[in-house]
Chains A and B, each alone.
Chain A
Amino acid sequence: MPRYALNINGQTRQADVDADTPLLWVLRDELQLCGTKYGCGKGLCGACTVHVDGQAQRSCQLPVAGLAGKRVTTIEGLHPQGKHPLQQAWIRLDVAQCGYCQCGQIMQAAALLKAKPRPTDTEIDEAMAGNLCRCGTQLRIRAAIKAVARGEGA
């Protein structure tokens, strides 16, 4: 079994896995980073969203062999104390219901705001369209993104 050296949240981590192992399972099973979630395995739900070189990607669709030299950020690395403005807004506005999709939502929103600090409502909806929420927290997700875009509670 080959050994892969990965840059995860600024640290070099090793994983002895098959080349086709999706990053999602490397994170969860080999590196014990469980914030990134499995929801569908087909890139349809967004629960597995991470950043690769700053871009939001579905980790269930990323074979580990393709990640050489790339910087991966997971929810655990979004902010050292878990106090990214989005994380704070999510708590302040009580966004979650069951919580299972929310790490993926936050990672997607963080990438959006990095690229577009003041997105329009349409841009928010389009950016978040790939992230499903079964419990129906979408109104609060929108509100939290807009609050951060306005600089509230920073």
Chain B
Amino acid sequence: MKRRSFLQVSALAGGGLMLGLVPEQAAAADGGFAPNAFISIDGAGLVTLMAKNPDMGQGVKTSLPMLLAEELDVDFARVRVLQAGANARMADQGSGGSQSVPQSWDQLRRAGAAARQMLMLAAAERWGVAVAELSTDKGQVLHAASGRRAGYGELAAAAARLKAPDPAGLKLKPRAEFKLLGRRVAQVDSAEIVRGAPLFCGDTQRPGLLHAVIAKSPVFGARPMSANLEQIKAMAGVRDAFLVEGDADALRPIPQDRPFRSLQPFVAIIATSTWAALKAKQALQVRWDDGAHKHHSSATYRATALQRLAEPGELWRDDGDVPGELARAAKVVEATYELPILAHTTMEPMSCFAEPTPEGGLRFIAPCQFPGIAVLAVQALLRVPAAKVEVQIARLGGGFGRRFESDFVLEAGTIALRMKAPIQLMYTREDDMRHDFYRPFGWQRLRGGLDAQGRLQALHVKHARHAFRDPVTPKLRASLFPARFVPNYRVEVAMVDSNVPAGAYRAPGSNLNAFMLESFTDELAHAAGQDPLAFRLALLGEDRELKEPDFSPTRMKGVLRLAAEKAGWGRRLPKGSGMGLAAYFSHGGYIAHVVELSVSRAGGVTVQRVTSAVDVGPIINLSGAEQQVQGSVIDGLSSSLWQEITIENGAAVQGNFDDNPHLRMPEVPPRIDVHFIQRDMAPTGLGEPAFPPLPPALGNAIFAATGKRVRSLPLRQHDLSWS
């Protein structure tokens, strides 16, 4: 969706707010002011702000309204925030790619500033004074010279009659004048979260609500040929059961011209209660048309990958003379790295509420990361015109990229249309873990050539990867660091064919590359006899700013130095203890972590502390930003220590937290210290970039503690014992 900023003036009629979740009380009394899709102020001065983007815990239901509130100049503790649904009047509603804050920074600030300007103009007219003599403070317009003041509510009706100003001409607050941005603000939903108020789609109640569960082929993508449907339909509480043929190719990488996948093949069971549906699912027997891919397995993927790494691949970049420089190098370091398939395992499994509307359309209450895409998918695949598709956005019980997909929306919609009833669709944990769009596997073979002074002169990186749809083009991917920093640099890529469905997982591409590159950089440093921090600083070179693609060695060195300083880098630690360092640039952000841990002689890992330095420009909500960094660290520890999805006979093996565990409280380090370097610039996002550098920092710390180099994850497959 193209970015655009526009404002329109419309007086609020009783009960008439725009699309999205509308409270049961009348939205506003007569005489209200709604200058754009984001702000409305009623005659009593109640300010309602629409939260543009879905909140999956990354805090945008709070931080984006803060952008409006800062420029509008209202007391944030007293505003009402409502979650917007899919709204054609709102641009950039997708929560993904760490883009919510960067894409909203200018447009929402201007929306707030425009509303404030109109309120001031209304006061100026009322008092017969120049606008330049007026100021605002927390929902009031003030005329210092005469001492007059008026609340925004009193001015609302008058402001609504004014022409909206040109947003481009508005003056935004300088950073030094921020009253709200940069502070610690608790999430707007906090009180409801802790009371168990209905916030998630599964909490929706309706008379006559039916509960649906689905079954999909364990071998990815196969169609159902037949099932014991009559037996299922005879079970207590079951209203219906049917096959949906779907598209067997729905799980292949999405074509570039379409942001959604086809409807998958599945079997649906609909019952009057969740328990009746789950019991019926246990009795369900399906014959799947699954012969074609049953030979796929993790073992065959590995064998194929290692073979590909031994052959020439597709050349993505070739600077200088890599073979020549490697031959001349004083020391050559070579290593092969591997990472497993990961499942998202959001705490709330895939779910969706859907009901038919009287106009022949569909209403969803859905945990979608990209509401606009959900509307397009329903229109294209369920043939309901977009004007008749309403997508309300519930809180997402975790996203991490999984809820970018529209499968649960299409499945709930299909069932609701067929049953002509409100439907609550729920995936079991096993469904969720076995029918994910996974973080795919990845391999890299790296060869680095060091000169006699221990400088990296040549680097050859060979990838063996899944054919997932990378948001970054090959040319761009290959021009990221360390391109332009190593004079002789070659990148080759080969594909490993696989039927594993792959999708966006927190920092796609980067979450594979960072582990391999930053662990190998550590290997190079040790081979050169240099401190890993010093080696990286030397590689980054002098302070400067590179363009196309943009990359700042200055800012990268800044986070490395800050993390190292705060962690006490260089302290002597006893044998079995160690510190590891890693830094990575992704999604516009620069993050460095230092992990301090100890490894028992038996090989048990205890992380004492993680120290993180973060540079993403200015911070909007200090509390939420700290959460994203600590959350990314714990996410990285969890997957690095415990997680992998293996494939056997074409199907995912793991299904729950017993065989694909998540980090538990006793394993969470006592300290994760987060330090921000803030700058006066447009912010970049923080949902993802703190994740990629954590696993290599962990691996590097294990090497420092034990002398054992970790080249694959999860750690639990390694023997880290030492003596």
Segment touching A, from B41-49, B100-108, B582-590, B630-638: B630-638
| Known interface pairs A38-B349, A39-B429; A136-B236 also in contact (CB < 8 Å) | no
Interface 1/0s, chain B 636-659, versus A by CB < 8 A?
001000000000000000001110
Contact, CB under 8 Å: A125 / B665: yes
Contact, CB under 8 Å: A97 / B57: yes
Interface 1/0s, chain A 117-132, versus B by CB < 8 A?
0000100111011111
Whole-angstrom CA separation of A82 from B346 in the bound complex: 26
Could you tell me the distance in whole angstroms from the C-beta of A1 to the nearest C-beta in chain B?
8
Docked complex: B416-443 residues within 8 A CB-CB of A:
426, 428-429
Whole-angstrom CA separation of A87 from B184 in the bound complex: 18
Contact, CB under 8 Å: B395 / A99: yes
| Known interface pairs A44-B658, A76-B196, A100-B398; A17-B275 also in contact (CB < 8 Å) | yes
Q: A1, A90, A132 — which one has the most chain B CB atoms within 10 A of its CB?
A: A132
Considering the complex, give the chain A residue whose CB is closest to the CB of B631.
Answer: A136
Segment touching A, from B186-194, B259-267, B304-312: B186-194
Contact, CB under 8 Å: A137 / B202: no
Q: How large, as a class, is the contact surface on chain A?
A: 35 or more
Could you tell me the distance in whole angstroms from the C-beta of A18 to the nearest C-beta in chain B?
7
Contact, CB under 8 Å: A134 / B203: no
Contact, CB under 8 Å: A133 / B347: yes
Residue B664 interfacial (CB < 8 Å): yes
Residue B200 interfacial (CB < 8 Å): yes
| Known interface pairs A25-B275, A42-B429, A99-B395; A132-B347 also in contact (CB < 8 Å) | yes
Which among A29, A96, A138 is the interface contact of B190 at CB below 8 angstroms? A96
Docked complex: B372-429 residues within 8 A CB-CB of A:
395-399, 426, 428-429
Considering the complex, give the chain A residue whose CB is closest to the CB of B632.
Answer: A136
Contact, CB under 8 Å: A131 / B665: yes
Residue A94 interfacial (CB < 8 Å): yes
Considering the complex, give the chain A residue whose CB is closest to the CB of B197.
Answer: A35
Interface 1/0s, chain A 41-71, versus B by CB < 8 A?
1101101000000000000000000000000
Segment touching A, from B66-74, B218-226, B666-674: B666-674
Residue B75 interfacial (CB < 8 Å): no
Report chain B residues within 8 Å CB of A137.
Answer: 627, 630-631
Residue A114 interfacial (CB < 8 Å): no
Whole-angstrom CA separation of A49 from B666 in the bound complex: 19
Whole-angstrom CA separation of A131 from B662 in the bound complex: 10
Report chain B residues within 8 Å CB of A138.
Answer: 634, 665, 668
| Known interface pairs A44-B658, A97-B57, A98-B395; A35-B195 also in contact (CB < 8 Å) | yes
Q: B193, B202, B347 — which one has the most chain A CB atoms within 10 A of its CB?
A: B347
Report chain A residues within 8 Å CB of B399.
Answer: 98
Q: Which applies to chain A's interface (DSSP): helix, strand, loop or mixed? A: loop
Report chain B residues within 8 Å CB of A32.
Answer: 205
Report chain A residues within 8 Å CB of B630.
Answer: 136-137, 139
Considering the complex, give the chain A residue whose CB is closest to the CB of B623.
Answer: A94
Report chain B residues within 8 Å CB of A42.
Answer: 429, 656-658
Report chain A residues within 8 Å CB of B189.
Answer: 96, 99
Considering the complex, give the chain B residue whose CB is closest to the CB of A30.
Answer: B273
Residue B348 interfacial (CB < 8 Å): yes
Whole-angstrom CA separation of A130 from B237 in the bound complex: 33
Contact, CB under 8 Å: B347 / A100: yes
Report chain B residues within 8 Å CB of A131.
Answer: 665
Contact, CB under 8 Å: B191 / A82: yes
| Known interface pairs A41-B429, A97-B57, A97-B631; A91-B275 also in contact (CB < 8 Å) | no
Contact, CB under 8 Å: B666 / A129: yes
Which among B426, B634, B666 is the interface contact of A136 at CB below 8 angstroms? B634
Contact, CB under 8 Å: B664 / A129: yes
Could you tell me the distance in whole angstroms from the C-beta of B661 to the nearest C-beta in chain A?
9
Report chain B residues within 8 Å CB of A33.
Answer: 196
Whole-angstrom CA separation of A137 from B635 in the bound complex: 10
Contact, CB under 8 Å: A29 / B275: yes
Residue B700 interfacial (CB < 8 Å): no
Q: How large, as a class, is the contact surface on chain B?
A: 35 or more
Report chain A residues within 8 Å CB of B345.
Answer: 134
Could you tell me the distance in whole angstroms from the C-beta of B373 to the nearest C-beta in chain A?
20
Contact, CB under 8 Å: A135 / B57: yes
Report chain A residues within 8 Å CB of B58.
Answer: 97
Contact, CB under 8 Å: B59 / A75: no
Report chain A residues within 8 Å CB of B395.
Answer: 98-100
Contact, CB under 8 Å: A75 / B195: yes
Considering the complex, give the chain A residue whose CB is closest to the CB of B200.
Answer: A100
Contact, CB under 8 Å: B274 / A29: yes
Report chain A residues within 8 Å CB of B429.
Answer: 39-42, 45
Residue B56 interfacial (CB < 8 Å): yes
Contact, CB under 8 Å: A139 / B672: yes
Whole-angstrom CA separation of A133 from B428 in the bound complex: 18
Residue A106 interfacial (CB < 8 Å): yes
Report chain A residues within 8 Å CB of B465.
Answer: none
Report chain A residues within 8 Å CB of B666.
Answer: 125-126, 129
| Known interface pairs A87-B194, A91-B186; A39-B347 also in contact (CB < 8 Å) | yes
Could you tell me the distance in whole angstroms from the C-beta of B695 to the nearest C-beta in chain A?
14
Residue B198 interfacial (CB < 8 Å): yes
Could you tell me the distance in whole angstroms from the C-beta of A14 to the nearest C-beta in chain B?
15
| Known interface pairs A44-B657, A129-B666, A136-B632; A99-B199 also in contact (CB < 8 Å) | yes
Contact, CB under 8 Å: A94 / B631: no
Contact, CB under 8 Å: B186 / A25: no
Whole-angstrom CA separation of A140 from B630 in the bound complex: 10
Contact, CB under 8 Å: B57 / A98: yes
Contact, CB under 8 Å: A97 / B627: yes
Contact, CB under 8 Å: A96 / B194: yes
Report chain B residues within 8 Å CB of A74.
Answer: 196
Report chain A residues within 8 Å CB of B555.
Answer: none
Contact, CB under 8 Å: B398 / A96: no
Residue A103 interfacial (CB < 8 Å): yes
Could you tell me the distance in whole angstroms from the C-beta of B720 to the nearest C-beta in chain A?
22
Report chain A residues within 8 Å CB of B623.
Answer: 94
Considering the complex, give the chain B residue whose CB is closest to the CB of A128.
Answer: B665
Could you tell me the distance in whole angstroms from the C-beta of A73 to the nearest C-beta in chain B?
12
| Known interface pairs A35-B197, A100-B200; A40-B656 also in contact (CB < 8 Å) | yes
Could you tell me the distance in whole angstroms from the C-beta of B185 to the nearest C-beta in chain A?
8
Report chain A residues within 8 Å CB of B665.
Answer: 124-125, 128-129, 131, 138, 141-142
| Known interface pairs A28-B274, A38-B202, A40-B657; A47-B347 also in contact (CB < 8 Å) | yes
Contact, CB under 8 Å: A100 / B397: yes
| Known interface pairs A47-B347, A121-B670, A129-B664; A76-B195 also in contact (CB < 8 Å) | yes
Contact, CB under 8 Å: B196 / A91: no
Residue A101 interfacial (CB < 8 Å): yes
Considering the complex, give the chain B residue whose CB is closest to the CB of A132.
Answer: B662
Residue B216 interfacial (CB < 8 Å): no
Whole-angstrom CA separation of A98 from B399 in the bound complex: 9
Considering the complex, give the chain B residue whose CB is closest to the CB of A36.
Answer: B196
Whole-angstrom CA separation of A17 from B623 in the bound complex: 44
Contact, CB under 8 Å: A17 / B273: yes
Report chain A residues within 8 Å CB of B205.
Answer: 32, 34
Report chain A residues within 8 Å CB of B211.
Answer: 29
Which among A92, A102, A133, A142 is the interface contact of B193 at CB below 8 angstroms? A102
Q: List 13 A-B contacts (CB under 8 A).
A: A25-B274, A25-B275, A35-B195, A35-B196, A40-B656, A42-B658, A91-B190, A97-B627, A98-B346, A99-B397, A135-B398, A136-B632, A138-B668
What 18 additional pairs, Cβ within 8 angstroms, besides A82-B195, A90-B190, A99-B395? A25-B275, A29-B273, A39-B347, A41-B429, A75-B196, A82-B194, A87-B194, A91-B191, A96-B187, A100-B200, A100-B348, A103-B193, A128-B665, A129-B664, A132-B664, A134-B662, A135-B631, A136-B632
The 5 A-B residue pairs with the shortest CB-CB distance in the complex, in nearest-first order: A35-B196, A98-B57, A136-B634, A100-B397, A97-B57
Residues of B within 8 A of A (CB): 55-59, 184-187, 189-191, 193-200, 202-203, 205, 211, 236, 273-276, 278, 345-349, 395-399, 426, 428-429, 623-624, 627, 630-635, 638, 656-658, 662, 664-666, 668, 670-672
